[in-house]
């Protein structure tokens, strides 16, 4: 539901949120993430990582689903 006064810009923002959610969905399902080096979060007032939390990403092997067990 659109709030009064948000206009057309809200549609663009919602589309960007949807696109980012789709990208993250595929990244989580198809890749394994692991920290590149130890980095301890600072949790006040927001969670931040001093080194920016560098990660190493590995593509997971493709899997097949047997729909007829």
Domain borders along the chain are 9-59
Q: Which of 34-38, 47-51, 55-59 has the highest mean pLDDT?
A: 55-59
This prediction has a pTM of 0.55
Q: Is 55 helix (H, G, I), strand (E, B) or coil?
A: strand
Phi, psi dihedral angles at 48 (to 5 degrees) = -135, 150
Mean pLDDT of the chain: 81
Q: Report the distance separating Cα 9 and Cα 11, nearest Å.
A: 5
User: What's the pLDDT band for 67 if we cut at 50, 70, 90?
Assistant: low
Q: Which of 5-9, 17-21, 30-34 has the highest mean pLDDT?
A: 17-21
Does the structure show a pLDDT above 90 at 7? no
Cβ 33 vs Cβ 55: under 8 Å: yes
pLDDT (average), residues 3-32: 83
């Amino acid at each position: 539901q659109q709030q009064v006064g948000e206009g057309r810009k809200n549609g663009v923002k919602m589309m960007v949120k949807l696109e980012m959610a789709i990208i993250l969905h595929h990244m989580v399902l198809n890749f394994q993430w692991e920290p590149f080096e130890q980095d301890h979060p600072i949790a006040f007032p927001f969670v931040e990582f001093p080194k920016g939390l560098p990660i190493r990403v590995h593509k997971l092997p493709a899997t097949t689903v047997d729909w007829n067990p």
